Structure 1
């Protein structure tokens, strides 16, 4: 098992989830992103594996968003969050001041899809479809 695989397994254990396969692959290849995407006119940040546990423990994420795991941000107030209450877990944006899932804005079912579409579309701000309660 590689060092990244060990870190992924440790993060999954601490967070009580099994990451989707495409996200595990992203992390295993040293995946993280922090950049302004000019074509989308949006900022995209996806945390490195070393940051995941601290990010999720620092913001009372599990209390406010049961089943939620924050994996990134929009560079401002919005947190890119997996909703592990559903299978497969989908990705949502949540304002860091939100108290529950009612304010969730659906982004994509797969991280791969989000990353492929992001340069053209950026964040989805119009889809106010709340996550399943």
Structure 2
């Protein structure tokens, strides 16, 4: 929709229409009043993943990880730092492949950490391996720029 963005609340799953002339970073959910962005990644289950990628119209960057994965744990602070730079233009989610193994299988995850970038409800890019915060930011921005 022109003139606004649909942003899905990570707390209640409500879909919020935020006008383009209003800073999304300070917007609150109309349903539960929680801020729509907290400058940090959100742990997502299969339902949250689906709502964020299918109902929202901002890009979604997903870090697929597992608690036992050393490189995943090493990348976690970098992914969190990247959220402070990329939000509110991109939603950042963390998807635990152990607790959401069916979804990880449907997504074709073969190694972790893997980052998936979604835009307009479709996966547009993926990359595997640990990255620094700046590499995450650059990769996500480059992928979205190449789509434009």
Tell me which interval the TM-score lies in, with the shorter structure as reference length: 0.3 to 0.5
Q: Which is greater in Rg?
A: 2
Q: TM-score, normalised by structure 1?
A: 0.35
